């Protein structure tokens, strides 16, 4: 019996020694990294010393079973690089947040050693160079955030191997080249942010495989060709931002399948053809921005069915015909811009229903007739632009005396 107790005692000693040694080894690894910081007197990281227990007293360090499990030093004023971040000694890390510091230099290929990692945030730093292909080894990562850096080169195709990804955010970098088609393999993905880069080529039709996606933002790039009709299969989408690209061709009527969509922004492209009448199915839309394209034809009366709309922008197109009176059904509308088109006929009397309207732009069209007195009951109107049309008569007296208009352009 005593012999068995002795064995148990020595086993406990071995485990305790192993955990203590491992903890010390990890602490030494982090201290080696800290020693490379330009600001060695960082007050937040003053607790990082060998005289304190890394698992109990170090800022931003959380351990589990004596092993460093979480490292969160967001906005800690760190000025340095990741060159001496010894990834190979921190294999049990599951959560790393290095955001909002002044880290520069490259992402080391050894980052691929963190195979237990679930969360990685390096956003809002000065990291440069290419995203290493070894990042594809992080098969457990659910959130990968590297936005607001200076990362360049292509998006590595190896990211398509990160099958657990739910959030991928690479926005506001200097990434170029095409969007890898194998991003369509990330079937758990819910949010994809690639905007404000220099990406080119087509939008891959394979993105239609991302059935859980609710936020797709590819805007402010150099993407070309047409919008894939397969995007209409992403029925969970709430946000679709494709604006500020070089997209051409018609707007696919299949986008009307996105019945959960809240915001559809396609402005500042080279889209042509008509606005699909089927957009009347998008009953949850809050904003519909199609301005600065080459759209033609009339404004579909079905837009009047989108009663949740707050902002509509169709400016700088080639739209013609009358303004549908059905737009008067959009009682939540605060912003309407139909300027710089070829619209004709009168301002609908139904616009008097738009009591929440704050900004109304109808300038540079072929609108005619008198300004209906009902428009004067837009009590929240701050901006009214109706210049460069063919109106007759006078402005309604109540509108002139309201005193709330901050910006008014009339009959010029």
Q: Report the distance separating Cα 306 and Cα 313, nearest Å.
A: 14
Pair 314, 336: CB distance under 8 Å: no
Q: Report the distance separating Cα 274 and Cα 314, nearest Å.
A: 12
pLDDT attached to residue 408:
58
Residue listed under structure tokens 């237990």: 116
Per residue in 290-319, pLDDT (tens digit) is 999 999 999 999 999 999 999 999 999 999
Per residue in 372-412, pLDDT (tens digit) is 988 888 889 999 999 999 998 887 777 665 555 655 555 44
The neighbouring-strand residues paired with 320 are: 342
DSSP state of 340: S
Nearest to 97 by CA among 125, 75, 120: 120
Contacts of 76 (CB under 8 A, 6+ apart): 42, 44, 45, 59, 60, 101
pLDDT attached to residue 50:
85
Residues 335 and 250 in one domain: no
Residue 56 has pLDDT above 90, yes or no: no
Residues in the chain: 412
Residues 312 and 271 in one domain: no
Mean per-residue pLDDT of the chain: 90
The neighbouring-strand residues paired with 343 are: 321
Domain boundary among 267, 298, 329: 298
Residues 396 and 288 in one domain: no
Residue 76 has pLDDT above 50, yes or no: yes
Residue listed under structure tokens 């939540």: 332
Write the CA distances from 367 to 282, 337, 389, integer angstroms.
28, 14, 5
Residues 336 and 261 in one domain: no
Per residue in 94-126, pLDDT (tens digit) is 999 999 999 999 999 999 999 999 999 999 999
Residues 229 and 304 in one domain: no
Measured at the CA of 31, the angle between CA 29 and CA 34, to 5 degrees, comes to 115
> E strands, 170-269, where?
174-177, 191-193, 198-201, 215-217, 222-225, 239-241, 246-250, 263-265
Domain boundary among 266, 298, 330: 298
Q: Report the distance separating Cα 171 and Cα 189, nearest Å.
A: 16
Residues 247 and 336 in one domain: no
Residue 38 has pLDDT above 50, yes or no: yes
Per residue in 192-210, pLDDT (tens digit) is 999 999 999 999 999 999 9
Domain that holds residue 311: 299-412
pLDDT attached to residue 16:
34
Residues 310 and 272 in one domain: no
Contacts 24+ apart (CB under 8 A), 382-386: 382/358, 382/406, 382/407, 383/358, 383/359, 383/407, 383/408, 384/360, 384/408, 384/409, 385/339, 385/360, 385/361, 385/409, 386/347, 386/360, 386/362, 386/410, 386/411
Q: Report the distance separating Cα 56 and Cα 75, nearest Å.
A: 21
pLDDT attached to residue 393:
82
pTM for this predicted structure: 0.91
Read off the pLDDT band of 4 (50, 70, 90).
Answer: low
Q: Report the distance separating Cα 120 and Cα 145, nearest Å.
A: 6
Residues 236 and 340 in one domain: no
Number of domains into which the chain is organized: 2
pLDDT attached to residue 305:
98
Domain boundary among 278, 298, 318: 298
Residues 328 and 255 in one domain: no
317-337 average pLDDT score: 98
pLDDT attached to residue 18:
35
CATH number, position 76? 3.80.10.10
The neighbouring-strand residues paired with 246 are: 224
Helix or strand or coil: residue 175? strand
Q: 19: part of which helix (H) or strand (E)?
A: helix 2-34
DSSP string, 26-50: HHHHHHHHHTT-S-TT-STTTT-ST
Residues 235 and 342 in one domain: no
Nearest to 122 by CA among 136, 108, 134, 133: 108
Q: Report the distance separating Cα 262 and Cα 104, nearest Å.
A: 37
Residue listed under structure tokens 């061709």: 249
Looking only at the bridges linking them, the beta strands covering 126-130 and 150-153 are: parallel
pLDDT attached to residue 7:
39
pLDDT attached to residue 400:
61
The neighbouring-strand residues paired with 296 are: 318
């Amino acid at each position: 019996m005593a012999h068995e107790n002795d064995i148990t005692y020595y086993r406990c000693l071995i485990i305790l020694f192993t955990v203590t040694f491992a903890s010390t080894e990890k602490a030494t690894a982090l201290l080696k990294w800290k020693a490379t910081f330009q600001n060695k007197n960082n007050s937040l990281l003053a607790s990082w010393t060998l005289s304190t227990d890394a698992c109990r007293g170090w800022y931003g360090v959380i351990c589990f079973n004596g092993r460093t499990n979480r490292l969160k030093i967001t906005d800690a004023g760190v000025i340095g690089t990741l060159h001496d971040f010894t990834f190979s000694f921190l294999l049990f890390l599951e959560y790393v947040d290095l955001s909002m510091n002044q880290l520069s230099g490259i992402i080391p290929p050894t980052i691929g050693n963190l195979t237990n990692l679930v969360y990685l945030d390096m956003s809002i730093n000065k990291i440069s160079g290419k995203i290493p292909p070894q990042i594809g080894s992080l098969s457990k990562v659910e959130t990968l955030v590297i936005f607001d850096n200076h990362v360049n080169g292509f998006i590595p195709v190896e990211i398509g191997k990160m099958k657990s990804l739910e959030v991928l955010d690479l926005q506001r970098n200097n990434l170029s080249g095409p969007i890898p088609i194998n991003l369509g393999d990330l079937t758990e993905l819910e949010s994809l942010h690639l905007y404000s880069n220099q990406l080119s080529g087509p939008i891959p039709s394979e993105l239609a495989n991302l059935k859980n996606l609710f936020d797709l933002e590819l805007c402010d790039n150099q993407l070309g060709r047409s919008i894939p009709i397969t995007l209409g299969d992403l029925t969970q989408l709430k946000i679709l931002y494709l604006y500020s690209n070089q997209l051409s061709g018609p707007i696919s009527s299949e986008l009307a399948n996105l019945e959960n969509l809240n915001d559809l922004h396609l402005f500042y492209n080279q889209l042509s053809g008509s606005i699909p009448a089927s957009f009347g199915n998008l009953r949850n839309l809050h904003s519909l921005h199609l301005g600065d394209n080459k759209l033609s034809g009339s404004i579909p009366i079905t837009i009047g069915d989108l009663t949740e709309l707050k902002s509509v922008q169709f400016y700088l197109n080639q739209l013609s015909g009358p303004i549908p009176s059905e737009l008067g059904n959009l009682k939540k509308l605060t912003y309407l811009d139909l300027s710089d088109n070829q619209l004709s006929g009168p301002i609908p009397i139904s616009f008097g229903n738009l009591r929440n309207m704050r900004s109304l732009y109808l300038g540079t069209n072929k609108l005619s007739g008198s300004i209906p007195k009902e428009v004067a009951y837009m009590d929240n109107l701050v901006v009214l632009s109706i210049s460069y049309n063919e109106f007759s008569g006078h402005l309604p007296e109540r509108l002139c005396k309201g005193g709330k208009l901050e910006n008014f352009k009339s009959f010029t």
